[in-house]
Amino acid sequence: MNVGDAAERSGLPAKTIRYYEEIGLIRPARAENGYRDYSGDDVHRLAFLRRARNLGFSIDDCRQLMALYQDRDRASHDVREIAAAHVRAIEEKVRELQSMRSTLQKLIHACHGDDRPDCPILDDMAGAADQVPA
């Protein structure tokens, strides 16, 4: 099947599929005319990649997961460790986002939100900019 059909069946844009081929995540066969020829297995791998990316895995993680998926002699521990590391990264990002939210809520509360030019939000940002080493 062509890239349009593979895109429709996998749920990925054709541009993404071409990118995945460019970086070596998939390798569709080539027809005699040189066009890509995607198989059902290719579409299955593309759907796998779509799901992994939707879960937030990096391209490198996807490469490792795809290799493990295709390796029937794999140890599930290896897959579990990649997923656990990803969860730890998500948890760290959540902590960072909660901290940002808390800071912004404090700044919003400190801001009068009226016609006066003084603004604690901008003052805080400018203060942070002043603290950056040259």
> What is the reported pLDDT for 31?
86
Q: Is the pLDDT of residue 116 over 90?
A: no
- Phi/psi of residue 36, nearest 5 degrees: -65, 145
The CA radius of gyration of the chain, in Å to the nearest whole number, is: 23
In Å, the largest CA–CA distance within the chain is: 71
Q: Does domain 1-58 have CATH number 3.90.1200.10?
A: no
Average pLDDT over the chain reads 92
Could you state, in order of their start, the residue ranges of all structural domains in the chain?
1-58, 75-133
Q: Give 52-64 pLDDT, tens digit per residue.
A: 999 999 999 999 9
